[in-house]
Structure formats: C-alpha cells, structure tokens
Amino acid sequence: MVFEKIEDKRLNEILYKGVHKSGLTVYVLPKKEHSKSYAAFATNYGSIDYRFIIPGEDEYTEIPDGVAHFLEHKLFEQPDGSNAFDAYSLTGANANAFTSFNSTVYLYSCTDKYYENLEILLDFVSNPYFTKENVDKEQGIIGQEIRMYDDDPGWRVFFNLLDCLYVNHPVKKDIAGTVESIAEIDKDVLYKCYNTFYNPTNMILFTCGNVDCDKVAELVEKYVKATPNTEIKRYLPEEPKVINKKYIEQKLSISTPLFQIGFKDTDVGYGGAKLLKKEIVTSILLEILFGEGSDLYNRLYNEGLINDSFGSDYEGEISYGFSSVSGESNEPDKVLEVITDTFSKIEFTDEEFERVKKVEIARYLRMWNSVEGVSNTMVSDLFKNINIFEYSDIVKNITLDDIKLRFKEHFDEKNCVMSVIKPYESNGDK
C-alpha cells in the first residue's frame, strides 16, 4: 500500500493516506511526541440507513430500526464465547464503540502495545459471528437499554426535539430502535447489513499517535480481505423544509424542567468545503448569540432563567442539520420569549465578530493537541468529504456578512421548535 503525504505547514502536521487493495482507506497521523496513541475503524453506516439495495439485488430492502446499533454490540462477541473487550483488558487499552445517525466507529486509545491492540481491532471488526442464540440474548440486553433511555430526561428531550424538527427524515428515530423493532432482528438481517455496509470500500481506518505507516499497512494486509467493490444505493425519504411541529412536552421524574430549542437547517444536500464553511459560520454565530460573554446569556442568567447547564450546539450532516440551545429552567417558555425578543433587535458588530472568530480558531488549534479530539473530528469529517486542512483558509475568508446571512436564513422563527421535559405534578400523577 502506497501512502500519499498530505501536509499542512501552518499546523506543522502531516497526514498519510493510503488505499488498500480491499478498497479500505487508511490514514496515519503521526504524533511521535504524544504518549497516547489512538485508532478508529469506522464504517459509513448509521441509524438513518434503514433502506438500501443489497449488492447484487434490484429491489430496496427495508430493515427494522436499530440494526446498526445492534451490529455494533454484536461484533465484539467471539466464537469461543469471549469478548473483544476481554482481549483489550489484557493489553491495558481503553476501548469503546458507538453508533451515530451516520456512522459506526470502533476505537481504542493506549500508551503501550499499540500494534497488538490494532490487531484486536482489525480482527474482530472483520470477522462477524452471529447465531440465533447470541442474537436472542442481545435483544434482551438492548431492550433493557432502550427502556432505560425511555426514562432518561436528557435523551428524551433531544429525540422529542428531533421529532418536532423533522417530518420524514429517519434522524428523528431513536438510534437504538424500539423494543418492538429489535425483536424483528435476526442473524440473517445482521449478516445482510454487515456484508453491505462493512465492505472495506465503505470504511476508513484512522490511526494517530506514535504510529508507523509500514506497520499499519502490514496489519491491514493481514486482516482486511478484498471484497467486491460495490456501490451502496441508499434511500432517504424527501424531507420538506417546514418543521413537523412547534412544541412538544413530556413529564418525567425530574426536579427542574429541561428544554431544548431547535432551528432546522433548510440548506442541506452537500458536503465538502461548502459544508465545512457552514459549520464554522454557525459555530461562530452560536458563540456570538449564546456564549457566556454574550448579552443574551447574561440577560437569561441574571434574570434567573438559566443556570450553568445552558449551552448551544450545531450538528451539520449532508442530509440534515440543526442548531440547538439547551438547559434547565423553571420557565422554559420565558427563555424562548427572551431569545425571540433578542433576535428581533440584534445587531452584529465587527468587534464581536473578530473576537469570537479568534476563539473559534483557538478551539481548532487546541483540538490538534488531543489524539482523541483530532481523530474523532477527522473520522466524522472524512465521511462528509471534508478536508480539515482547509479549515484555515475557510475561516480566514469568513466575513461579518456571512454571519448576518446565516443568522437571517437559519434562525428564522418558522424554523424554530421547542422540546420540554417537566416534572410530574406534586401529587405524583403521571
């Protein structure tokens, strides 16, 4: 495997990219001065991929909700009854995995035995083992997890928000599925999805730290097998620009109401540098609007409407995007009222823009000091066709007019929804 050298002299960072004969794209980001090293083996397959054409077939296959997450759980199990985590415990590595709306990632970090850990990672992800017995067992485990999340206020306020924002897009569905949907999952479904989406052409291996390209290539050659290079045809329902509903409220066992206010992105359908710019502009805008130094934050805080849990976030993907503002408040409706009032008369200044822009650049530079931070960011970006090395040029050219335009288009009242979790009444009625 031949590695291409990608260099950013401003950051003094070098990224090596190679494509294995299997179609797997391999990245090596050397950070020899770091004591900790990291690896992520990821597939471009998440919870939103519920309808697709299996390679070699003509018709779409629709699978139950929660299969991607179910697969993530099952891949750790070995034919001898052991678990890949058992192997990691012997090496001292910190291993984990997660399923998002768009991808599934298997990862570890370690200070020693890097290549031994990489062998474990490549081996278990490349060799699935599903039986009726272990699938049935997992249904019970995940079913308990789903029931737990059903009563989790933070989880529910978030997915209720998504239900408000989206009419048809599967991002509104719980990543783990439902108790009913996972009951429909069997080993045949798992193998179908694994063989479709865990094709090396749909995956990346990202390594970072005190790592050698040749040694990584040697292990990839040993464990990753070539498979037919097939294009995955996915289906997503058409999503209207309008929101689904303005407001949703649920009661759970909490002491202080939780809220999330969301703003739906109507400008979607692209990745690459254009998406990266949108992400940066939105990040700067959120800091101007809701950062701890903003007038809005101080007003909300001084009036006792929010506490230190208050924050904002943006999630931008190719097929969807939304901003969210969240926190605890005894008067969530009042929080929204203050935000709406502030938005109606806000004025952006060059001084504030330049200050926050510097904060954004500083955050980006700090990311490169963390092997976990830079690895997770780059894995996510690569599936969105984003080259993170383009960040410096893009942020340099962002103007105050970009901020004003994004505010006008994105933070529109018609795109705004609210999700609230309130405590049960004092009499205990549910």
pLDDT digits (tens, 9 = 90+) for 321-373: 999 999 999 999 999 999 999 999 999 999 999 999 999 999 999 999 999 99
Q: What is the pTM of this model?
A: 0.94
- The tokens for 107 are 């990862």
pLDDT at 428 exceeding the cut of 60: no
CA distance 54 to 72: 19
* 264-275 mean pLDDT: 96
Q: State the SS3 of the chain.
A: CCEEEEEECCCCEEEEEEECCCCCEEEEEECCCCCCEEEEEEECCCCCCCEEECCCCCCEEECCCCHHHHHHHHHCECCCCCEHHHHHHHHCCEEEEEECCCCEEEEEEECCCHHHHHHHHHHHHHCCCCCHHHHHHHHHHHHHHHHHHHCCHHHHHHHHHHHHHCCCCHHHCCCCCCHHHHCCCCHHHHHHHHHHHCCHHHEEEEEEECCCHHHHHHHHHHHCCCCCCCCCEECCCCCCCCCCCCEEEEEECCCCCEEEEEEECCCCCCCHHHHHHHHHHHHHHHHHHHCCCCHHHHHHHHCCCCCCCCEEEEEECCCCEEEEEEEECCCHHHHHHHHHHHHHCCCCCHHHHHHHHHHHHHHHHHHCCCHHHHHHHHHHHHCCCCCHHHHHHHHHHCCHHHHHHHHHHHCCHHHEEEEEEEECCCCCCC
Among all chains, which residue has been given the structure tokens 């928000």? Answer: 161
Please state the separation of Cα 287 from the chain's center in Å: 20
Q: pLDDT above 90 covers what percent of the chain?
A: 91
pLDDT for 57: 86
- 33 catalytically annotated: no
Among all chains, which residue has been given the structure tokens 């009242």? Answer: 413
pLDDT at 430 exceeding the cut of 70: no
Inter-residue contact 316 to 332 (CB < 8 Å): no
**Greater pLDDT, 157 or 78:** 157
Where are the domains positioned within the chain? 3-234, 247-423
Burial of 133 (0-12, 13-18, 19+ CB in 10 A): exposed
pLDDT for 37: 96
Confidence of residue 230 (pLDDT cuts 50, 70, 90): confident
Phi-psi region of 268 (alpha: psi -120 to 50; beta: other; left: phi over 0): beta
Domains 3-234 and 247-423 share a fold: yes
Among all chains, which residue has been given the structure tokens 């990489």? Answer: 118
Inter-residue contact 181 to 189 (CB < 8 Å): no
* 166-192 mean pLDDT: 96
pLDDT for 227: 79
Residue of 4, 59, 72, 249 marked active site: 72
Question: How much is the mean pLDDT over the chain?
Answer: 94
* Residue whose C-alpha is closest to residue 337's, from 258, 261, 286: 261
pLDDT at 425 exceeding the cut of 90: no
pLDDT at 226 exceeding the cut of 90: no
pLDDT at 159 exceeding the cut of 80: yes
Burial of 302 (0-12, 13-18, 19+ CB in 10 A): exposed
pLDDT at 429 exceeding the cut of 60: no
* 271-288 mean pLDDT: 97
**Which one is the CATH code of 247-423: 3.30.830.10, 2.40.50.100, 3.10.20.90, 2.102.10.10?**
3.30.830.10
CA distance 267 to 199: 31
pLDDT for 426: 65
pLDDT for 235: 95
Q: What is the CATH number of domain 3-234?
A: 3.30.830.10
